[in-house]
Amino acid sequence: MLKRTIFEEEHNIFRQTVRAWAERELYPHRETWREAGCVTEDVWRSAGSEGFLCMYADQKYGGLGLDDFRYDMILCEELGPREPGFFIWAHNRIMGPYLQHIASDAQRDRYMRGVVSGETVLAIGMTEPGTGSDLAGIKTRAVEQDDHWVLNGSKTYISNGVLAGLVIVAAKTDPDDPRAIGLFLVESGSEGFSRGRNLKKLGLHSQDTAELFFDDIKVPKSNVLGDPRGGFKAMMKNLAEERLISAVAFVSRAEYAFEKTLEYVTERRAFGRPVGTFQNSRFKMASARTELDAAWALLDHCVREHLQGALSAEMAAEVKLFTSEVEARVVDECLQLHGGAGYMDEYEISRLYSDARISRIYAGTSEIMREIIGRGLGLDERKRN
């Protein structure tokens, strides 16, 4: 197994704190949350009280003023495999940075304290019916009127959509410019804002994933994040970190699947011997171990680049593509090694298998990742003579 060198002593201490909290506050509720299709507001507040939410926020908001990606990496590694529906990593590293880096002081004064305490769960409304990874193709519109904007449209597949107290909504602000997109802060309870179904999914059963609807919502100009035409650029800039934290989740789940399978093939016996001692089992586990070590090495390299502000869009696409594909292969092989038991929901490998299928889709599909990487190589069909 690869010896990782990315963490320092304070990170290891933090990991132990996270593990103890999870055993006490998270894991005992897993089955209840799966059945409900949603975690509870209490667990968000508990995470906030521990200082786990948006640690980079200023201390005046209850944050730690600590912008070290590795702490959120640890949260994702520890919590994600056993309770993947608690999207703390998305709150911290996908939605939160918009408030941290783009919001005005007045906007942070209004919202950041609740975001840090867990009183306000964040969601971001990008995806729409018919416009998956194509952000330039969104249909939601915002029209400027006097001292406000009028917002109309809908979003789907929105993580944290049921519990979100504040939604960052991407909307077109110029019908003649597909990249003129504004980011609007819409509070829960706003007139004209409604939620549809908590969507039933193949996996991630405790993650609240919802449809959101915006019907003539009057959004005050004070709730526009930055330039009302500059949201596309802001989203593109934040996607590298989104793909990086997603990659952490993918490798962590695959590692957990490997650990559970190693236990199973060591204990399970067939023909008078442990299943793991058969050549096929040994070779499959050896291949999985090798792929996991390669994935961890690439991931940790990308984290180092990110900590130095040097992670490129192409490298973020590479790590997202590779780790999601490794997760798929490893979890599939691990389920196979469980035999019929692997198909039973009572075995965690079954849940890990269904949870893993989304990894090659969200945060940009594998096909889109290959497109980004290919264009970075100069292989852009738009440049053909």
Instruction: Classify residue 200 as exposed, middle or buried by CB count within 10 Å of its CB (0-12, 13-18, 19+).
Output: exposed
Contact 95, 126 (CB under 8 A): no
Q: Dig out the tokens for 290 from the structure.
A: 């090798």
Same-domain check for residues 243 and 378: yes
Q: Which residue, 208, 229, 250, sits at the end of a domain? A: 229
Residue 354 domain-assigned? yes
Is 242 among the residues known to form the active site? yes
74, 92, 120 - which closes a domain: 120
Q: Which of 242, 255, 318, 348 is catalytic?
A: 242
Does the pLDDT at position 257 exceed 90? Answer: yes
Asked if 124 and 140 touch (Cβ cutoff 8 Å), the reply is no
**Domain match, 256 and 371 both:** yes
User: What one-character DSSP code corresponds to residue 133?
Assistant: S
Structurally, the chain folds into a number of domains equal to 3
Q: What 3-state class would DSSP assign to 202?
A: coil
Q: Residue 330 above 90 pLDDT?
A: yes
**Is residue 105 assigned to a domain?**
yes
Amino acid at 242: E
Q: What pLDDT does 130 receive?
A: 77
Partners of 154 in beta bridges: 213
**Same domain (yes/no): 208, 267:** no
Q: Concatenated DSSP letters for 247-301?
A: HHHHHHHHHHHHHHHHHHHHH-EETTEEGGGSHHHHHHHHHHHHHHHHHHHHHHH
User: If you average pLDDT over every residue of the chain, what do you get?
Assistant: 95
Based on its alpha-carbon atoms, the radius of gyration of the chain, rounded to whole angstroms, reads 21
Flag whether 148 is in a domain.
Answer: yes
Q: How far apart (Å, rounded) are the C-alpha atoms in residues 124 and 141? A: 16
> H helices within the chain, ranges in order?
9-21, 30-36, 41-49, 69-79, 88-90, 96-101, 105-117, 231-267, 279-307, 313-338, 348-356, 366-376
Q: Could you tell me which of 22, 18, 1, 20 has the C-alpha nearest to residue 10?
A: 18
The pLDDT of residue 178 is 80
In a 10 Å sphere around its CB, with 0-12 CB exposed, 13-18 middle and 19+ buried, how is residue 331 labelled?
buried
Say what the pLDDT of residue 135 is: 75
Q: What is the pLDDT of residue 382?
A: 67
Report the pLDDT value the prediction gives residue 131, as an integer from 0 to 100: 75
385 has pLDDT over 60: no
**What CATH number does residue 107 fall under?**
1.10.540.10
CATH number at residue 257: 1.20.140.10
Q: What tokens appear for 73 in the block?
A: 């990496």
2: in domain: no
Residue 255: pLDDT band with limits 50, 70, 90 = very high
The listed range with the strongest mean pLDDT (38-52, 126-140, 229-243) is 38-52
**270 shares its domain with 368:** yes
Q: How do residues 117-159 score in pLDDT, each as one tens digit? A: 999 999 999 999 877 666 778 999 999 999 999 999 999 999 9
Average pLDDT (263-277) is 90
Q: Are 362 and 206 in contact (CB under 8 A)?
A: no
383 vs 221, residue with greater confidence: 221
What is the percent of the chain where pLDDT is above 70? 98
Q: What mean pLDDT do residues 316-328 have?
A: 98
pLDDT digits (tens, 9 = 90+) for 71-102: 999 999 999 999 999 999 999 999 999 999 99
Q: Please give the residue range of the domain that contains residue 284.
A: 233-383
SS3 217: strand
Same domain, 276 and 371: yes
